[in-house]
Amino acid sequence: MDNSMSISAIDLFCGVGGLSYGLKKSGINILAGVDLDDTCEFAYSENCKAEFIHESIDKIKGEVLQKKFKKGSYKLLAGCAPCQPFSSYTYKSDKNKDSRWQLLYEFSRLIVETEPDFVTMENVPTLLKFKAAPVFRDFVKKLEGLGYSVWYDVVFAPDYGIPQNRKRLVLLASKHGKIELISPTHKREEYLTVYDAIGHLEKIKDGECSKTDIIHKAAKLTELNLRRIQQSKPGGSWKTDWDEELKLACHISEKGKGYGSVYGRMKWDEPSPTMTTFCNGIGNGRFGHPEQDRAISLREAAILQSFPEEYKFASNAGNLVSKHIAKHIGNAVPPRLGEVIGISFQKHIEALNYDKKKKK
Q: How many angstroms separate the most distant Cα atoms in the chain?
A: 78
* Neighbouring residues of 67: CB distance < 8 A, sequence distance ≥ 6: none
Beta-carbon count within 10 A of 338 CB: 28
Phi, psi for residue 105 in degrees, rounded to 5: -70, -35
> E strands within the chain?
7-12, 29-35, 51-54, 74-79, 118-123, 149-156, 167-174
Neighbouring-strand partners of residue 10:
32, 77
Give the Å distances, CA to CA, from 216 to 81, 200, 266, 288, 324.
Answer: 28, 12, 17, 14, 15
Active site residues: 83
- Residue type at 19 in one-letter notation: L
Question: CB-based burial of residue 186 (10 Å sphere; 0-12 exposed, 13-18 middle, 19+ buried)?
Answer: middle
- Residues 28, 29, 30, 31, CA torsion sign: negative
